[in-house]
Chains A and B, each alone.
Chain A
Amino acid sequence: MNATRAFLRATDIACRRGERLLFARLSLAVEAGEALHLAGANGIGKSSLMRILAGLMRPFAGEVEREGAMALLDERPALDTHLPLGRALDFWREVDATPAGRLDTVLTEVGLHDLLDVPVRYLSTGQRKRAALARTIAQGSPVWLLDEPLNGLDTASVAVVEKLVAQHCADGGLCVLASHQPVAVPGLKRLELAEFVL
């Protein structure tokens, strides 16, 4: 994928939201080819940790080292809701300079190929999630940060996501996946956020 191998390492990070210290002394390392499942109950700080790993938020303490371009999927799809799905995705295809065939392949994999003419706002929760997933995957980055990618998905789609993550890791990418649900990916490491709550 990339000439240099991607990795994501965090050392002794703490996160504070407002007056509350969500977690502290958390260290993790994900190397190319690995996938990590961040597990924990709602509100424990999974999304905050994701944003810290993505570099969108500064940790209260500690450091994050990263190598390789990152793609983030969170609860906001970042697609223009009034546009047909195809055109909304086209914007990111242009920004990311994605090869023409790649987006088509990804759309077929997540089962959205028949919905390209439908405005994003008419899509169901699960379809919107899969659209955002398609945007994230088509970006072609070695590092995937997936925040609750399984929310709103049916069982068949969950299996598709698990397969895509496994495929991505087999291809030398890495993935951090935050979910309160169980995830079945071969070789998936697991990090319980509850262990780092003070």
Chain B
Amino acid sequence: MIWAILKRDVVLLLGGGRRGGALLPILFFLAVAMLYPFAVGPDGQLLARTGGGVVWVAALLAAILPLDRLVEPDLEAGFFDQWALRGLAEEWICAVRILAHWLCFAVPLMLATPIAAVLLGLSGEQLLTLELGLLAGTPGLAALGVAVAAVTAGLRGGAALAGLLILPLAVPLLIFGAGSLSTGGEGGLALTGAASLVLVALSPFAAGAALRAARE
């Protein structure tokens, strides 16, 4: 049963059509990485020093794009009520959706990161730290996305509000993740992973509670 739901989530989030698809955030992410050298000039040292941080900011901004189609369409179409009727806890559904969102957003993002690294002139070592940082941080970002989408689903202007809500909440991930680049240390990665794990553990419950509260 859970498998069928995960399969549907992944197909919906990956696929294009009226819901947008997974390609758009990635193109946005690459566009930011491409624009940055235009804006600050072709100073290789400066780019290499600041490029990692830019990738993190771009990843964070790209994470806003899919928010409005994470929960809202299914809530409106009555899927969540049908799952509730079958005794499936909202927490489970949200946990599955976090996994699906991670697969459809974070994995393509990490695949696109080497391209962004080339555009920003990052070294191989920096790229490795960046990829490890994203691997540690994106589960938390995905969890946060689903929780925020659940809280704002059904509100007027919910999409804009979701973007505004997720950014401050993602600041710890950004600080630790981007910080691991300048220190080059494992400490930053470990802290990113820790913040990420906390978010993954809490978000399904927050999202589930939000969905139940929205029914009343």
Contacts and interface: CB of A to CB of B under 8 A. Distances in A.
Nearest to A74: B78
A79 B8 CA distance: 12
B18 interface: yes
B216 A57 contact: yes
A70 B85 contact: yes
Interface string B88-128: 00000000000000000000000000000000000000000
Given A78-B81, A91-B4, A94-B4, A58 B216 contact: yes
Nearest to B17: A82
Interface in B36-57: none
A54 interface: yes
Contacts of A74: 78, 81
B73 to A, nearest CB: 9
B12 interface: yes
Contacts of B83: 95
A72 interface: yes
B76 interface: yes
A20 interface: no
B22 to A, nearest CB: 16
Interface residues of B, number: 20
Contacts, number: 51
Nearest to A70: B85
Contacts of A71: 85
A56 B215 contact: yes
A69 B12 CA distance: 28
A92 B18 CA distance: 21
Nearest to B1: A95
Contact of A77 (B8, B17, B77, B216): B77
B124 to A, nearest CB: 42
Given A80-B12, A82-B18, A56 B85 contact: yes
A60 to B, nearest CB: 10
Interface in A70-98: 70-72, 74, 76-82, 91-92, 94-97
A81 B87 CA distance: 24
A58 B78 CA distance: 18
A80 B19 CA distance: 11
Contact of A56 (B12, B18, B81, B87): B81
Contact of B77 (A70, A76, A95): A76
Nearest to A54: B85
B60 to A, nearest CB: 29
Nearest to B75: A76
B82 interface: yes
B79 A78 contact: yes
B156 interface: no
A2 B86 CA distance: 16
Contacts of A51: 215
A95 B4 contact: yes
Nearest to A81: B77
Contacts of A79: 77
B159 to A, nearest CB: 20
B1 to A, nearest CB: 5
Nearest to A71: B85
What are the 5 tightest A-B residue pairs by CB atom distance, in nearest-first order? Answer: A76-B78, A94-B4, A78-B78, A78-B82, A78-B79
Given A56-B84, A78-B81, A82-B17, 4 more contacts: A51-B215, A76-B78, A80-B12, A96-B86
Interface of B: 1, 4-5, 8, 12, 17-18, 76-79, 81-87, 215-216
16 contacts: A51-B215, A54-B85, A55-B84, A55-B85, A56-B84, A58-B216, A69-B86, A70-B85, A72-B81, A72-B82, A76-B76, A76-B78, A78-B81, A80-B77, A94-B1, A96-B86
